[in-house]
Amino acid sequence: MADPLLSVERAGEILLEHASQVSDTETVALADANRRVLAKDIASRITQPPFAASAMDGYAVRAGDIGPEGAELQVIGEVAAGAMPEAHVTDGTAMRIFTGAPLPQGADSVVIQENTEKRSDAGVFFKTAAAVGDNIRDAGQDFAAGDILLSRGRTLDARALSLAAAGGHATLPVFRRPRVAVLATGNELVPPGTLPGPGQISASGSVAIAALARDNGADVIDLGIAGDSEAAIRGAVEKAVEAKADILVTIGGASVGDHDLIRPTLAAMGMELDFWKIAMRPGKPLMVGRLGDMRVLGLPGNPVSSFVCALLFAEPLIRHVGHFPPRNRETTAIAASTLADNGSRQHYMRGRFDCEGRVEMFERQDSSLQATLAEADCLIIRPPHAKAVEAGETVRIVNLG
């Protein structure tokens, strides 16, 4: 009998089908634009270089003045970067020039300093012949005014920002960061740093989800902890709506217990449910829906399950909404030991690389073990009903780095 649960792959497709991308833009200084997404094409305001310039320290000459046997020329001055030449190079003359300095009128070549020998106060001997264009950067060699330097949708990094600056831009238009509201639920939870009382635990899952959201370019709205009551959950969700969150991520309360109130509360508030429960381990009670313009992602309360689900679903959702390119974490590796047959749900097992670069599975895979998750390098993917894998065979993995 086929498993009625939704596959991980189909769940990922549905997740993005109704997710609207951010359309709001803002203009930010270059210093604040790193890791932001460019909202429109950027054209250069200037030509680079704006003039023919020397690529080396040496002498600006007329190439025809130096034959195969070399020649001695009279030095008539010098020009440094940031200055303009005060003389023209004519037959039998040369001008001392430094890297980045404008080429003097009349010169058509630069001879590097190492190929010269000073003979007198005004005379320099050139040891080798010169060719037209040697060691010269032509005007506009890099780009010209009006050229498109950066295209809409580019994730800005050090190289892109440097290019924008070279093109004469001090600010750039970028898409607004996606707003992600994070809500932990459960009477048993206390804020991190608070000593838990009887029956209580520290709320750690929301810390991980918020960090993951920020790592993927989001602004996080921390809704704190809501107790197991419809009123508390409703109040927190209303804050997310008021803050115009693009995505609401809830942690806990999405299963079928008497105290799992996320789904019925959100349904009463008008949430359209896209799916609930998928063929995945850990993370079966994953919930996805829409509340107005806000995408809703309900994660399991178990911190390991919530992190694995967030990595597979929250990360691609945030990146899609924020115009960031998809991050492909999946690759392959060699199994260090035998992996047993798998059941009906796709299993993500915590693993690590050994000294030979193979992946080995942690012996303990309970989804409550956060220390194991923190030590893991990857998640080993075991597809539904997969047969056993022997040591040395290839397995699919999700990189956690």
Question: Could you please report the per-residue DSSP string of 18-74?
Answer: T-PPP--EEEEEGGG-TT-BB-S-EE-SS-BSSS-EESSSEEEE-GGG-BTTBEEEE
Amino acid making up residue 153:
G
pLDDT tens, residue by residue, 22-38: 999 999 999 999 999 99
Backbone angles phi, psi at 159, to 5 degrees: -65, -45
What totals of helices (H) and strands (E) does the chain contain, helices first?
Answer: 8, 26
Whether this prediction's pTM lies above 0.85 is answered by yes
Q: How far apart are alpha carbons 189 and 351 in whole angstroms?
A: 28
pLDDT tens, residue by residue, 317-374: 999 999 999 999 999 999 999 999 999 999 999 999 999 999 999 999 988 899 999 9
59 pLDDT more than 70: yes
* DSSP summary character for residue 14: H
Residue 247 tokens, joined = 């995505």
Backbone angles phi, psi at 64, to 5 degrees: -65, -15
Q: How far apart are alpha carbons 257 and 253 in whole angstroms?
A: 8
Three-class DSSP category at 395: strand
Residue 262 tokens, joined = 């996320």
Mark out the alpha helices in 7-99 (DSSP H runs): 8-17
Q: How far apart are alpha carbons 183 and 319 in whole angstroms?
A: 20
Amino acid making up residue 379:
L
Residues pairing with 275 in the sheet: 288
Q: Output the pLDDT for position 338.
A: 95
Closest CA to 233 of 257, 269, 203: 269
Which residues lie closer than 8 Å to 182 by C-beta, 6 or more apart?
Answer: 206, 209, 210, 213, 220, 221, 222, 223, 249, 251
Backbone angles phi, psi at 174, to 5 degrees: -130, 160
Q: Output the pLDDT for position 255.
A: 62
Amino acid making up residue 167:
G
